[in-house]
Amino acid sequence: MGKITRKLILYFLLLLLFFSVLMAILFTYQFSRQTTRIYRDELEKTTIVISSNLAGGIMDQFGAPMGKRGNPTGSGQGLRMLLRFLDQLAMGEVWIVDRDAHTISMGQNRLAISFAELPDSALQLLDRVFAGEVASTETFGSVLGHPTVTAGAPIHDSSGNVIGAVLLHRQIEDIYTALKPGLLVLLFSMLSALAVSGLLAVFMAERFNQPLMRMAYTAEQLARGNYQIATGVRQDDEIGLLAQNIDNLAGELHATEHERERLEQMRSDFISNVSHELRTPVTVIRGSVEALNDGIVTDPQKVSEYYDQILAESIQLERMVNDLLELTRLQNPDYKIERVEINLPAVVEDAVRSIRQVAQAKEISIKPDINASPVSFYGDYGRLRQMFIIVLDNAVKFSRRGDQVTVEAAPQGDSYKVVIRDHGKGIPQEDLPFLFSRFYKGKRNEEQKGSGLGLAIAREIADRHGVRIDIDSKEGSGTAFGFIFPGKPSVDGK
């Protein structure tokens, strides 16, 4: 059992015990108060019945009538027998108070006591009864020697005058005796409630604790690098929300770890590719320089060829380094390209003019079909021109001598589309998924001459401008690169 479970059970039981004790106190107080009130009502009714019978002359039959001055006449033994009879009948102690003589007759150890022996509170009750009221009090305990409820009623003569009073006493212990069964039932109910509540508290605490333990275990596994774990908690409450957030965090960490591994693999591949790509020109340059420096090559024509080879490899090496720097700069999220309002047809025409000289060297014609209507676009003029030149250069490189490269540019619905199409050998289907990868080169000779970074740079430029690139290529029938510009320019802040 966990600490939270024990605490929940303890708090739950203490709270229940507190309210049980409070309810017991309130029950005892209310029960005693209500029982005392009922006792008083019963005593008052009984007292009224006794006083009515005494007023009817029943005392004359016991030889104890009250005279004009209120003094009892006849046999005191008869009065005492009457009082004992009334005690048994009323299940209490009956007193008869003589108003004029200020004496009290009782059926106990002695026949009468005087008013002087009564406390002031008891005398106040007698004053109310002699005034014609039916009243009750609990102030005769000091006289009787035990807590008592007392009710009093006036005794009237035939003329309706108050000539005395009847007092009926009943011990309060009788009330407590009636209270005990109720308290026992309440105590049994409290203990039963505590037992049942304890079991329910254990059950509820365990149900509350189990998802927390699962979430704690999940968090521990996440800290150890296990990002594929999940809490498995499905609840429509705050605990369920917390579990869902932990599962979402695990998913995000798993995706981040996967991305980190991918980037690490890319970094490793990048270093490997760079090392491989740089090794070849550096090796050629070093071998040529060593041959010239050691005097191994002395023939002027061979020396010239070696210098030409060093120059060509140096140019290739410089181009590769520049492309690497360019690609790294474009892939940096913090690198921002400058966006201004440009005319897309003008950018395409500028790229075509720039590639014509390269195309003429291979006797390849560039046939533009460009809609001259201005099309506004927010982007980097130089970068977009570079993107088109990279694709145009590849189209010229992979076209046969005398072929034609077409460039079409026109609005297409809400977008603007530029298609650069060659009629060369086409691209094998197995090469298409890797076409924009860094340092990727096909098996053809023309592809081995490049750095393998051009199309990767073109894709980065397109992505920065929200441009989609489509490729349609079949071996033997050429390749078409389509650039679809959005109707609303992408504003990514990069």
For the chain, what is the domain count?
Answer: 3
156: nearest Cα among 293, 56, 275: 56
- Specify the CATH number for the domain of residue 96: 3.30.450.20
**What's this model's pTM, rounded to 2 decimal places?**
0.44
- pLDDT, residue 284, reads 78
Locate 162 and state its tokens.
Answer: 């108050």
For residue 427, being part of any structural domain is answered with yes
At residue 418, the pLDDT reads 92
Last residue of a domain, one of 271, 296, 329: 329
Same domain, 153 and 20: yes
Q: Are strands 93-98 and 103-106 parallel, antiparallel or unpaired?
A: antiparallel
Give the Cα-Cα-Cα angle 45, 81, 128 (nearest 5 degrees): 35
d(CA 331, CA 325): 10
The answer to whether residue 228 is domain-embedded is no
CA distances for 492 relative to 328, 347, 464, 467, 484, angstroms: 18, 21, 8, 12, 17
Say if residue 120 is in the same domain as residue 9. yes
Least confident of 101-110, 170-179, 288-297, 370-379: 101-110
Predicted confidence (pLDDT) per residue in 327-350, tens digit: 677 767 767 778 889 999 999 998
- In terms of domains, do 264 and 160 share one? no
209 is a domain residue? no
For 28-134, list the strands marked E by DSSP. Answer: 93-98, 103-106, 112-114
The residue whose two tokens read 């102030």 is 139
* Same domain for 296 and 166: no
Check the CA dihedral 217-219-220-221 and report its sign: positive
Tally helices (H) and strands (E) across the chain.
11, 13
344 and 319 part of one domain: no
Structure tokens at 158: 């035939």
Nearest partner of 54 among 191, 194, 157, 145, judged by Cα: 157
| pLDDT band per the 50, 70, 90 thresholds, residue 446 | very low
Does residue 242 belong to any structural domain of this protein? no
H or E stretch at 208: helix 173-223
Which residues span the domain enclosing 130? 3-177
Alpha helices per DSSP H over 238-342:
238-293, 300-331
Q: How many CB atoms lie within 10 A of CB 380?
A: 19
367 falls within a domain:
yes
One domain for residues 278 and 387 = no
Residue 399 lies in a domain: yes
463 lies in some domain? yes
The answer on 265 and 137 residing in a single domain is: no
Residues 322 and 385 in one domain: no
* Pair 12, 49 in one domain: yes
Is 434 domain-assigned?
A: yes
CATH code (residue 291): 1.10.287.130
Q: Is 384 found in the same domain as 297?
A: no
